[in-house]
Amino acid sequence: MQLNPYLFYNGTCKEAFELYERVLGGKIVMMLTHGETPAAGHVPPEWKDKIIHARMMLGDQALMASDAPPGRFDQPKGFSVNVSVDDPAEAERTFHALAENGKVTMPIGETFFAARFGMLVDRFGIPWMINCEGAQKAAAGGGKSQANPGASKEFVISRTFDAPRATVFKAFTEPERMKQWWGPKGFTVVSNKMDLRPGGTYHYCLRAPDGKEMWGKFVYREIAPPERIVFVNSFSDAKGGVTRHPMSPSWPREMLSTFLFSEKDGRTTFTVKWSPLDPDPTERATFDGGHESMKQGWTGTMDQLEAYLAKG
C-alpha cells in the first residue's frame, strides 16, 4: 500500500510542478492537459491548457496533482506536505526556494526535535513542512553526543538593575516597552512587531544615529516567565528574512541567545548568553574574535535599558 498526496491548484498546476521539479530534484513523468483528453469538450476554451493530471516522482515516491475544475477550487487547509532531508543546509535551501513569494508560517531553524524545521505556504497556496532531524535523529538512535573540539567559547555578560524581576522581564516581552530602549547605544527602534510564543518572532527595525536603518529578528524557542527567554536571533530585512550582518559578512547568520533573569532583594540580575548557531570555520573565528565588540555593544544596550528602568 502507498499513501500519496494529491494536490489541487487554481489553474497553476503546471507552473507549480515545474518549480517543485527544480527545487526538490524530482522528475515530472506525466503532465496531461484537458485539451489532450475526451474532456476537452466539457471545459471552457481557456481551460484546455490546464492540467487534468500530473505526476512527479521523487525516488520511489509520487506527488500527484491537477487543476481544479472551473469554480470548484478551495484553498488547501488542514494538511501540509512534509519534506524530510538529511542536511541542514539542504533544508534551508529547500525552505527558502519554496517560500519565495509565499508566506512563512514558522521560520526555519533548530528546534528541540530537529536540526532544522520550518513551515510555509508556497505562492500557489500549498502548505509545506521542511524537516531535517540531523543530530537529533542520531541521538534518538542511541548515538553518544560528543563535544565539538572546535566549538566557540560562549559569550556571557551580566548586569544588575535596581528594579524587580517582573518589571525587567516586561521590558523584554512587551513591544511598546522594548521599543523605548532596545538596541545599541544611540540607536532607536522605529518599527517592531512581537509574537511572544515558542515559534513566534520579534521583528524590528533600528535606526542608527546617522539615519541608516537595519532590521533584526528573534525566533522564540522557550519563554519561561519571569526567569528565561531562549531564541535564535539574526539580522533581517523588511520582509522578515534572514540576512548577513550589514557590516561584517563573515558574522554568523544566526545566534542562539539565552536571556536569564534572577532577583535578590528587589534587584534583578540580567544575563545574556550568546553562541553561534551551526557556524562554519570562518563564522566561528569571527565570533571568537568579536567578544570585545560584543561587550561594547551589549554595554551600550544595557545602558539604555538602565535609563529606561530609571524612569519608573
Residue 301 pLDDT? 95
More confident call, 133 vs 283 = 283
Residue 55 pLDDT? 96
Dihedral (Cα; 240, 245, 249, 255), 10-degree rounding = -80
pTM, two decimal places: 0.54
* C-alpha separations of 267 from 40, 83, 163, 174 in Å: 76, 48, 5, 20
- For residue range 187-241, what is the model confidence (pLDDT) as tens digits? 999 999 999 999 999 999 999 887 889 999 999 999 999 999 999 999 999 999 9
**Which residue matches cell numbers 498526496?**
5
The answer to whether residue 147 scores a pLDDT higher than 80 is no
Question: Given pLDDT bands bounded at 50, 70 and 90, which one contains residue 151?
Answer: low
The answer to whether residue 146 scores a pLDDT higher than 60 is no
- For residue range 98-113, what is the model confidence (pLDDT) as tens digits? 999 999 988 888 776 7
Residues 6+ apart with CB under 8 A from 56: 17, 20, 21, 26, 27, 28, 29, 62, 63, 64
**Which residue matches cell numbers 475544475?**
69
The answer to whether residue 155 scores a pLDDT higher than 90 is yes
Complete domains list, the chain, with CATH: 6-140 (3.10.180.10), 155-310 (3.30.530.20)
- For residue range 17-51, what is the model confidence (pLDDT) as tens digits? 999 999 999 999 999 998 898 877 777 888 889 99
Residue 112 pLDDT? 64
Is residue 245 within 8 Å of residue 276, measured between CB atoms?
no
